[in-house]
Amino acid sequence: MGRYEDTVHRPSHLNPRTSFIMTLQSCSHHDGALAILKTWKDHLSSSQPATDLIKHTRRGMIRSALMRNLALPEWMLEGASFGEHGLELEYDSIVVRTVNIRQRLSALLKAKTGTQRTSYELTSIAEDLNKEARDLDKALQDWTAHFPRTWRYQRHTLSNPHPWPTRDFYSPVVCSYSSPAYAAVWNQYYAARMLVNSTRLRVLKLSRPHFDDFASEQRLECLSHMRIMANDLASSVPFCLEKIKVTGIPNSSSHKTSITLNTTEDIKPYLASLTIPRPIATPNPDIVVVICQHHSPREQRNIKTDGSDWKSTAQIRHCQCCQLPGEEEVYTRWA
């Protein structure tokens, strides 16, 4: 929708020296959806319960604010009034706090280039943001502790780790789940923690620009978390793309399962939505390199140069329109 708006209504704004994709960033349709959502909140919410449409519209607006580094309006903060409950509500509160931290960080970076605040004030605010981001990372870990047993995953090591398939496989270790829906939730968790720790890295540069021992220790902690989450996400990709088939009873007491590789069939487009969690902002080059650490050095250089290239390289392009037939609610619930 944004590309349509820019191409049709603002063609004169296109800069020939700027990447065509980068010029297509109109969000007028987001602002319109936000206005409609506010109308429901102000005039209809007291008499009509939130529908799935209302819930998912708000989630889309949260994604928009996350990617645009905008603050959420006060009336949008409480997810319960928009139909969120249980584990969904717990995760929703974490995402709302993440949006808040990223917006404040963006404002702080702008203030750094001006004269609005002293160096001491900037450092103090950055220290507070770092603590909040660290608390968010812990909250995400606590969130997974509440998952039902059936949501657990199993790790498998390919029987012949060298050579193992390189297309759609990024490690000799792969993860399997009892349902694709559970894989989508875990992928969301991995991506959320990478986003939070990436934000912490940016905050640390502000709070301790000279990287003393304390800052270096925290930086290594963030990088370690990001690397672990990226590896777990990469290990889940083959299952999400149906490149492995698990035989046996997953999560059973016997643990007698085996996997069969499926390297010949083409990827079904709707499966891509399980791989890249939609609420998470576009990864920055630092995260992309971590995700793609199993690629060749040449591929890593290309990825780091242009953050948009990593999707096609990893072959996990996000599907914009398709959902798994007959189970739409399962796959949009965590969107």
The model's pTM is 0.73
144-154 per-position pLDDT tens digit? 999 999 999 99
> What's residue 52's pLDDT?
92
> What's residue 134's pLDDT?
96
At residue 161 the predicted structure's pLDDT band, cuts being 50, 70 and 90, is low
Q: Is the pLDDT of residue 333 over 80?
A: no
> What percent of the chain clears pLDDT 70, i.e. is strictly above it?
66
CA–CA gap between residue 252 and residue 257 (Å, rounded): 9
User: In the structure encoding, which two tokens stand for residue 233, read together?
Assistant: 């996400």
Mapped onto helix, strand or coil, the DSSP state of residue 259 is strand
CA–CA gap between residue 129 and residue 154 (Å, rounded): 35
Name the H helices within 69-147: 86-113, 119-145
In the block, residue with structure tokens 């889940």: 236
Mean pLDDT comparison of 14-28, 147-161, 203-217, highest-scoring range: 147-161
CA–CA gap between residue 113 and residue 298 (Å, rounded): 35
At residue 30 the predicted structure's pLDDT band, cuts being 50, 70 and 90, is confident
> What's residue 288's pLDDT?
29
Decide: 318 and 278 in contact? Cβ < 8 Å: yes
Nearest to 312 by CA among 252, 261, 267: 267
227-267 per-position pLDDT tens digit? 999 999 999 999 998 888 887 655 555 556 778 888 788 88
What b-and-e string marks burial along 257-270, b requiring 16 or more CB atoms within 10 Å of the CB?
eebebeeeeebeee
> What's residue 8's pLDDT?
61
Per-state percent for the chain, helix, strand, coil, to nearest 5: 60, 5, 35
At residue 292 the predicted structure's pLDDT band, cuts being 50, 70 and 90, is very low
Q: Is the pLDDT of residue 41 over 90?
A: yes
> What's residue 3's pLDDT?
53
Q: CA distances (Å), 126 to each of 139, 169, 242, in order?
A: 20, 39, 43
CA atoms within 13 A on the CB side of 286: 14
Residues sharing a CB contact under 8 Å with residue 308, sequence separation 6 or more, in sequence order:
21
Helix H or strand E encompassing 58: helix 52-68
At residue 306 the predicted structure's pLDDT band, cuts being 50, 70 and 90, is very low
81-115 per-position pLDDT tens digit? 999 999 999 999 999 999 999 999 999 988 877 66
Window from 170-174, 276-280, 327-331 with minimum mean pLDDT: 327-331
Q: What type of residue sits at position 86?
A: G
Q: Is the pLDDT of residue 169 over 80?
A: yes
47-87 per-position pLDDT tens digit? 999 999 999 999 999 999 998 899 999 999 999 999 999 99
> What's residue 6's pLDDT?
53
Mapped onto helix, strand or coil, the DSSP state of residue 261 is strand
CA–CA gap between residue 198 and residue 133 (Å, rounded): 10
At residue 295 the predicted structure's pLDDT band, cuts being 50, 70 and 90, is very low
In the block, residue with structure tokens 């296109």: 14
At residue 25 the predicted structure's pLDDT band, cuts being 50, 70 and 90, is low
Q: CA distances (Å), 56 to each of 4, 159, 185, 302, 332, in order?
A: 22, 42, 16, 35, 8
Decide: 107 and 70 in contact? Cβ < 8 Å: no
pLDDT higher at 26 or 21? 26
